[in-house]
A and B are shown apart, each in its own frame.
Chain A
Amino acid sequence: AQTVTQSQPEMSVQEAETVTLSCTYDTSESDYYLFWYKQPPSRQMILVIRQEAYKQQNATENRFSVNFQKAAKSFSLKISDSQLGDAAMYFCAYRNPMNRDDKIIFGKGTRLHILP
């Protein structure tokens, strides 16, 4: 069974600084997708970034980028130039759309605090 592990329950970063959130996962499958979701106080789940496992190039979305290490099964999220609006819960997630049930498996989350 697939698992997703986020070992940092909480993190803090100074506004305008850079922070990296860690995520590791376990799977025996070779093709899958990885995601980072943001859940602000409103609790609406927002997709931050996604990575297809078959792509070697790390995904980037503006200030958000990932470091995808397939062999190590590691998928960290880097947030550059942190802003107050980045304060939220961040969930790392795994999905294999080829699986019949196509479930998203979430990590336990990392709460990110932005210090002004």
Chain B
Amino acid sequence: GAVVSQHPSWVICKSGTSVKIECRSLDFQATTMFWYRQFPKQSLMLMATSNEGSKATYEQGVEKDKFLINHASLTLSTLTVTSAHPEDSSFYICSAKSLAGGPKTQYFGPGTRLLVL
């Protein structure tokens, strides 16, 4: 149980286009989902926290208009990178927090590699 999926796993796009990444909790309901960005050989950097039915909370320095987050249901959150540029190329990881609570209740997706040409 407790599986989180991300789609797509790999995406290549042209500079100036927008890319949507989906994060789904497959067998549990997630009150909260977190979006991270990870550069090569670096740690995970939290970008934003999304709660179902409300606006996302962005970390300092993360552009809200650049990285649009929508958490429309208890099993789906999406991250849209708008007008992507080569510097947006990175590995994006989501995690989902279960309604059940407790210490072991944030589950990570497998990540999405984004390459902007």
- Interface residues of A: mostly helix, strand, loop or mixed? loop
Q: What is the minimal beta-carbon distance from A40 to any residue of chain B, in angstroms?
A: 11
Chain A interface residue count, Cβ-Cβ cutoff 8 angstroms: 20
Convert B3-47 into 0s and 1s, putting 1 for each residue whose CB lies closer than 8 angstroms to a CB of A: 000000000000000000000000000001010001001111010
* Residues 59-117 of B contacting A (Cβ, < 8 Å): 91, 93, 95, 97, 101-106, 108, 110-111
Q: What is the minimal beta-carbon distance from A53 to any residue of chain B, in angstroms?
A: 10
Q: What is the minimal beta-carbon distance from A49 to any residue of chain B, in angstroms?
A: 11
- Cα distance A52–B103 in the bound complex, in angstroms: 8
Taking a contact as CB atoms under 8 Å apart, the answer to whether B108 and A107 are in contact is no
- Interface residues of B: mostly helix, strand, loop or mixed? strand
Chain B residues with Cβ below 8 Å from A108 are: 42-43
Q: What is the minimal beta-carbon distance from B42 to any residue of chain A, in angstroms?
A: 7
Which chain B residue shows the least CB distance to A104?
Answer: B106
Counting CB contacts under 8 A, is A29 at the interface? no
Given A43-B91, A101-B57, A102-B32, 8 more pairs with CB closer than 8 A:
A43-B110, A44-B110, A52-B103, A97-B103, A103-B46, A103-B49, A106-B44, A108-B42
- Cα distance A47–B10 in the bound complex, in angstroms: 23
Q: What is the minimal beta-carbon distance from B111 to any residue of chain A, in angstroms?
A: 5
Chain B residues with Cβ below 8 Å from A95 are: 103, 106
- The interface size bin for chain B is 20 to 34
Which chain A residue shows the least CB distance to B106?
Answer: A104
Counting CB contacts under 8 A, is A91 at the interface? yes
Out of B34, B41, B102, name the residue touching A103 (CB < 8 Å). B34
* Residues 44-66 of A contacting B (Cβ, < 8 Å): 44-45, 47, 50, 52
Taking a contact as CB atoms under 8 Å apart, the answer to whether B103 and A50 are in contact is yes
Taking a contact as CB atoms under 8 Å apart, the answer to whether B93 and A33 are in contact is no
Chain B residues with Cβ below 8 Å from A28 are: none
Rank and list the top 8 A-B pairs by shortest CB-CB distance, nearest first.
Answer: A45-B108, A33-B103, A106-B43, A108-B43, A44-B110, A43-B111, A106-B44, A109-B43
* Given A44-B110, A44-B111, A45-B93, A104 and B103 contact (CB-CB distance below 8 Å): no
A-B contact pairs, 15 of them (CB 8 A): A33-B103, A43-B93, A43-B110, A44-B110, A45-B95, A50-B104, A95-B103, A97-B101, A102-B32, A102-B106, A103-B46, A104-B106, A108-B43, A109-B42, A109-B43
